[in-house]
């Protein structure tokens, strides 16, 4: 549930990463994927998902996380963070990207 406010929220205007692991993580989340460290390492060969998420959050992306129980190879319990973008952020990012593509075509 979202809290009502008298002040409108700021416009959706995160900074898009130009390259690297932050761009890879963002690309997966914009496809609607929920990503975790093991999956990110399989996809990219890097274990630095937390650093990429930190960069995205600092750039204004509303990355959300959920800690889920998991088990280590030796049977000990642990928690793994799973990251995703909310649906409204994905829609806003797609709309912004489509607007940019249309402007570039018109130029």
Q: State CA 54 to chain mean position distance.
A: 10
pLDDT band at 106 (very low <50, low <70, confident <90, very high): low
Q: What is the 3-state secondary structure (H, E, C) of 42-75?
A: HHHCCCCHHHHHHHHHHCCCCCEEEEEEEECCCC
Give the span between the Cα atoms of 88 and 19, in whole angstroms.
24
pLDDT by residue (tens digit) across 42-86? Answer: 999 999 999 999 999 999 999 999 999 999 999 999 999 999 999
Question: What is the model's pTM?
Answer: 0.81
């Amino acid at each position: 549930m979202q809290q009502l406010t008298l002040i409108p929220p700021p416009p959706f205007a995160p900074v898009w990463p130009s390259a690297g692991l932050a761009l890879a993580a963002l690309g997966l989340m914009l496809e609607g994927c929920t990503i975790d460290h093991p999956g990110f390492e399989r996809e990219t060969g890097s274990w630095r998902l937390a650093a990429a998420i930190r960069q995205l959050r600092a750039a204004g992306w509303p990355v959300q996380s959920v800690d889920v129980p998991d088990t280590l190879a030796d049977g000990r319990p642990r928690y793994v963070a799973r990251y995703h973008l909310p649906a409204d952020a994905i829609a806003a990012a797609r709309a912004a990207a489509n607007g940019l593509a249309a402007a570039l075509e018109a130029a």
